[in-house]
Amino acid sequence: MVNTEGQLYTIEGIAASVLVMTTIYLVLSTTTILTPGETHVYDMQLEQLGNDILAVMDLNQTWVDNGYGYAKSPLQCYIEKDDGPGFGHRFLTLGKQTIGEENVAEINFIAIVTYRSGANINTYIFNSTRDYSRERAVKVTRWVNVNDNHSNSHLDNRNQTVLLEVLLWRG
Amino acid sequence: MAWLNDEGQWIILMGFIISVGIFFLALLVNQSILVGQTTAEAVLDFPKSDIQDLRNEVWVIYSRYNNTPSEQDKVIRDIEVISLIKKNAVVNITPGMWRVHYFNGITNYTEVIYDANNTFFYFYY
Amino acid sequence: MSGDMSIRNLKLKNTSAVSETIGYVIIFGIMMSGIALVTLFGYPALLNQQQEANIRNMERNMIVLQSDVNALVYKSVPYKETTMQVSGGVLSVESPHDDKSLSIQVDGADVLNIPATANRFQFGSLSFKSDQGLPIISLFNGAVVKRDIGGSVMLSEPRWFFDDPTKTLVITLIQIDSPPNLVKSGICTIQMEIEPLAIDIAGTNTIIENYAPGVKTVYINYRDVQSDYFRAFENYFESKPYMEKEGADWKINNVQKLVIKAYKITVLGL
């Protein structure tokens, strides 16, 4: 025979659990909502990475001092020689070093140089890994001072400061 | 308490305490969504690297063209104009006392980077 | 223990004139009225709370979106998308219309050159409308505004500014539009794309007027026919020390350099 004692306790237990579950469901559904609270953490990290890479590339290095009275940074050299591929290679190398393992997180970018010519502000594409197509991207920038004795056909022949902008995304 | 069964009072007390506890936790969860701007957004909004980069660049201009005012003016104009168009920030650099002024609507930053008339010694960074 | 039990047993013996039925009816009555009270007041209060939480959540969502718009406009990132849950109302794009528009004048002449709309800049907005009709929370000209019964408030300000040392007034105009009329609720992915909007004769999106060494007064006329966000913008202008009200216009004195930029943000999908 099945023991029928304690049936009331069982019913009470079930009723109580249903009550508690309903209450918890109501409370949770009222207060917690799916919000994109921390979506921008990703952007923040990528922006910091990009700025760090550009800052490292903008450090003056003594081995490129060639009689100007001051040392040039790699960044200045790349722009003065209009060496986009060289810049891109160095940028990606630094990016991968920061991430750690190679080919794990691929970084793509489009680098643009903005310069002033008289009253006009012009831009040209310095280097890019591939076309931009609606990726989750951030923008980092760096001022670069360029000497008048440069071989970049885009820029005027004068001492000037140009703005290097890098649109950066992963994937 | 006449014929009431007073066993199991602990269970009732525990139930009471737990329900009050759940109530307060629910209040806490409810309050937690009140946050307006998240940390990441605040960090993105603050032009930290813009200002650092600008200071760095002004120092480069000072050290390279300090003795040629005509070169200074051209290069400073480059920065001021490009900054307004590409970065939506007003930049004003006063050579001589090397005062840097930056304002993008949220962050207002002014600093004398190197004052030639002041004997106070400035360090680079 | 046994002594204790015996005392209780003794007491229990004395139960004359105690009716179990009446006791049961009383307990049952208390229980039923408890359930009735919860159903009558507790549950509606809970639903109310839920609606409020939805609205608060949406206020916050709009600030997240504003961050995206800032990245588009001020950092010139071409495209941004964010996924969020919209509940307790619908998200929609209001196309630009003359009802909510703005004109800027210097020396009695329009600074903006938009022939199609009589030199008035039309805003358009990304709005959340609550199920009850109000409140409405909008991303409007880079600001987050909330319209409720009796008026409107600004939750987050647009980035217009006047730089005192250089006397430069910088105004950024942001138009929001979408190809079809978009309305959605539930999980939304807001995809936004930016392009410059022509506002001067040359067809570019930037006006830089340099009055140096003199100064001029700039007049801004903001029109909001339905008065949806009128109060919010009035209060915003009023809170700025460089703004002054003159008739229906707001004026800014001592402007040496006027910079206006215009962008169009296209919401490709919700």
Confidence of residue C3 (pLDDT cuts 50, 70, 90): very low
Best residue of A29, A116, A123 to probe chain B, by most B CBs closer than 10 Å: A116
Residues of B in Cβ contact (< 8 Å) with C208:
84-85
Of residues A24 and B116, more confidently modeled: A24
Give dist(CA C11, CA C85) in Å, integer: 63
Of B3-12, B26-35, C36-45, C224-233, which gets the smallest average pLDDT?
Answer: B26-35
Give dist(CA C135, CA C127) in Å, integer: 10
Q: Residue C81 contacts by C-beta under 8 Å, 6 or more apart in sequence? A: A134, A136, C68, C189, C190, C191, C192
A93: phi then psi, degrees, rounded to nearest 5: -60, -45
Interface of A with C in 26-85 (CB under 8 A): 26, 29-31, 33-37, 39-40, 43
Look at residues C206, C207, C216 and name the one whose alpha carbon lies nearest to residue C256. Answer: C216
Whether B58 has a pLDDT exceeding 80, the answer reads yes
C177: phi then psi, degrees, rounded to nearest 5: -145, 165
Residue pair A167/A128 in contact (Cβ under 8 Å)? The answer is no
Residues of A in Cβ contact (< 8 Å) with B35:
37
Which pLDDT does position C47 carry in this prediction?
82
| Cis previous bond, B69, omega within 30 | no
The reply to whether residue B64 touches residue A159, judged by beta carbons under 8 angstroms, is yes
Q: Shortest Cα distance from A80 to chain C (angstroms)?
A: 25
Residue pair C55/C153 in contact (Cβ under 8 Å)? The answer is no
Whether C12 has a pLDDT exceeding 70, the answer reads no
Residues of A in Cβ contact (< 8 Å) with B53:
55, 141-143
Q: Does B40 touch chain A (CB under 8 A)?
A: yes
Q: Residue A98 contacts by C-beta under 8 Å, 6 or more apart in sequence? A: A49, A52, A53
Q: Does C63 touch chain B (CB under 8 A)?
A: yes
ipTM: 0.74
Radius of gyration of chain A (CA): 29
Look at residues C63, A44, C81 and name the one whose alpha carbon lies nearest to residue B37. Answer: C63
- What kind and span of H or E run contains B54? helix B48-65
Interface A-B, measured as beta-carbon pairs within 8 A, has a size of 89
Of A38, A116, A159, Cβ closest to residue B40: A38
Whether C148 has a pLDDT exceeding 90, the answer reads no
Look at residues C171, C200, C196, C173 and name the one whose alpha carbon lies nearest to residue C109. Answer: C200
Both tokens of C118, joined, read 């009589």
Which pLDDT does position C33 carry in this prediction?
93
Look at residues A128, A129, A130, A126 and name the one whose alpha carbon lies nearest to residue A144. Answer: A126
Q: Residue B114 contacts by C-beta under 8 Å, 6 or more apart in sequence? A: B59, B62, B97, B98, B122
| Cα-to-chain-centroid distance, residue C254 | 32
Residues of A in Cβ contact (< 8 Å) with C80:
136
Q: What is the mean pLDDT of residues C16-27?
A: 83
Q: What is the mean pLDDT of residues A53-79?
A: 74
**Which residue, chain included where needed, has tokens 């929001």?**
C176
Give dist(CA B57, CA C37) in Å, integer: 70
Residue pair C37/C138 in contact (Cβ under 8 Å)? The answer is no
**Which residue, chain included where needed, has tokens 């929609």?**
C92
Q: Does A166 touch chain C (CB under 8 A)?
A: no
Of B22, B40, B54, Cβ closest to residue A143: B54
> Where along chain C do its domains lie?
45-269
Residue pair A46/B40 in contact (Cβ under 8 Å)? The answer is no
Q: Shortest Cα distance from A143 to chain B (angstroms)?
A: 6
The reply to whether residue A116 touches residue B41, judged by beta carbons under 8 angstroms, is no
**Which residue, chain included where needed, has tokens 């990726």?**
A135
Residue A160: Cβ-neighbour burial (10 angstroms; 0-12, 13-18, 19+): buried
| Biggest distance spanned by C-alpha atoms of chain A | 105
All chains having 3 or more CB pairs closer than 8 angstroms to chain C:
A, B
Of residues C7 and A47, more confidently modeled: A47
Residues of A in Cβ contact (< 8 Å) with C192:
none
Q: What is the pLDDT of residues A12-22, one digit of tens each?
A: 889 889 988 88
Whether A85 has a pLDDT exceeding 80, the answer reads yes
Interface of A with C in 84-143 (CB under 8 A): 132, 134-139
Of C49, C64, C193, Cβ closest to residue A36: C64
Between A7-31 and B9-32, two packed helices, what is the crossing angle to 10 degrees? Answer: 20
CB atoms under 10 Å from CB of A78, counted, come to 27
Confidence of residue C244 (pLDDT cuts 50, 70, 90): confident
Of A33, A36, A136, Cβ closest to residue C53: A33
Between the alpha carbon of residue A153 and those of residues A80, A87, A140, B50, the distances in Å are 9, 17, 24, 27
- What kind and span of H or E run contains C260? strand C257-269
CB atoms under 10 Å from CB of C258, counted, come to 21
All chains having 3 or more CB pairs closer than 8 angstroms to chain B:
A, C
Task: Give the start-end residues of each E strand in chain C.
Answer: 79-94, 100-106, 109-110, 121-122, 125-130, 136-140, 143-148, 151-156, 161-163, 168-177, 183-196, 206-210, 216-224, 243-246, 249-255, 257-269
Mark A131-154 as b/e (b = at least 16 C-beta within 10 Å).
ebeebbbbbbbbbbbbeeebebee
Which pLDDT does position B17 carry in this prediction?
92
For C45, which residue in chain A has the nearest alpha carbon? A30
Of residues A34 and C47, more confidently modeled: C47
Of residues B33 and C255, more confidently modeled: C255
Whether B125 has a pLDDT exceeding 50, the answer reads no
Look at residues A128, A42, A164 and name the one whose alpha carbon lies nearest to residue C67. Answer: A42
Task: Please give the DSSP secondary-structure letter assigned to residue C166.
Answer: T
Q: Where are the alpha helices (DSSP H) in A1-149?
A: 7-31, 40-57, 74-80, 84-99
Q: What is the pLDDT of residues A46-62, one digit of tens each?
A: 888 899 889 888 887 65
The reply to whether residue B86 touches residue C76, judged by beta carbons under 8 angstroms, is yes
Average model confidence (pLDDT) across chain C? 84
Residue C22: Cβ-neighbour burial (10 angstroms; 0-12, 13-18, 19+): exposed
Collapse the DSSP code of A17 into the 3-class scheme (helix H, G, I; strand E, B; otherwise coil) and give the result. Answer: helix
Q: What is the mean pLDDT of residues C139-164?
A: 87
The reply to whether residue B38 touches residue A116, judged by beta carbons under 8 angstroms, is no
Average model confidence (pLDDT) across chain A? 80
Task: Please give the DSSP secondary-structure letter assigned to residue C41.
Answer: I
Q: What is the pLDDT of residues B72-82, one digit of tens each?
A: 888 888 898 89
The reply to whether residue A142 touches residue B77, judged by beta carbons under 8 angstroms, is no
Give dist(CA C268, CA C193) in Å, integer: 7
Give dist(CA A64, CA B23) in Å, integer: 68
Which pLDDT does position A164 carry in this prediction?
92
Of C53, C57, C82, Cβ closest to residue A39: C82
Residues of B in Cβ contact (< 8 Å) with C64:
38, 41
Collapse the DSSP code of C44 into the 3-class scheme (helix H, G, I; strand E, B; otherwise coil) and give the result. Answer: helix
Q: Does A163 touch chain C (CB under 8 A)?
A: no
Confidence of residue C120 (pLDDT cuts 50, 70, 90): confident
All chains having 3 or more CB pairs closer than 8 angstroms to chain A:
B, C
The reply to whether residue A40 touches residue B77, judged by beta carbons under 8 angstroms, is no
For A51, which residue in chain B has the nearest alpha carbon? B49
